[in-house]
Amino acid sequence: MTSTVPASLTRTAEDAALQAVLLDMDGTLVDTEGFWWDAEVEVFAELGHRLDEAWRDVVVGGPMTRSAGYLIDVTGADIGLGELTVLLNDRFEQRIGRGVPLMPGAERLLAELVRHEIPTALVSASHRRIIDRVLDSVGRHHFSLTVAGDEVSRTKPHPEPYLTAASGFGAVPERCAVIEDTATGVAAAEAAGCRVVAVPSVAPIAPASGRVVVRSLEEVDLAFLRGLVTGTR
């Protein structure tokens, strides 16, 4: 975890209800879920295996160890999990080195959160090396804290990443708004006790108590997130 904030924050009365905004990265802020799948397809092709498109919904949003392990199991590829993880990260890093496209509405939302001094964290199952490359494109100044998948003992769908982020801000999870694009990420955030905005990228996500589903970040602004936390949305 990297942080530029103290353990607790002084919040104005206006922002007392919404204490922090915690955002997923791949498929939520940046349009990279397809990059991961393309990297997996390419690496497995070089290993002599063709990935079935139906497997994409299984591996999306999960930690690298789960996704890579699943693909090894279903293909029978003769490669170890550690070696495959390195190959996938290397291939993905090559792709994002050519530029990272932001999701519609992401730039506006991040700018609004900075302008209103809302504590904002990036919480991803991706490894630190990948997050740092993406931050070069998205802008590190948008985030006071970042949590990578290889910096926690249990990553999504376990709640630890979001509990870690909330704790880093000295925030109560129930007063944190999380934005996620996959069922795995939503499960992690809800298990942590956070309020969730789901913006599905690859597979559909159903609305539920404490969760709002939208089509795009263009539907989300600070007033929306405050309403989510206070229960007025």
Point out the residues that are catalytic. 24, 26
Distance between CA atoms of residues 194 and 59, nearest Å: 24
* Distance in Å from the first CA to the final CA of the chain: 31
Give the DSSP H/E element, type plus range, for residue 139: none
Task: Kindly report whether the peptide bond that precedes residue 161 is cis, defined as omega within 30 degrees of 0.
Answer: no
CB 126 within 8 A of CB 232: no
Distance between CA atoms of residues 173 and 19, nearest Å: 9
Placement of tokens 């955030």 in the chain: 189
Query: Amino acid identity, residue 197?
Result: V
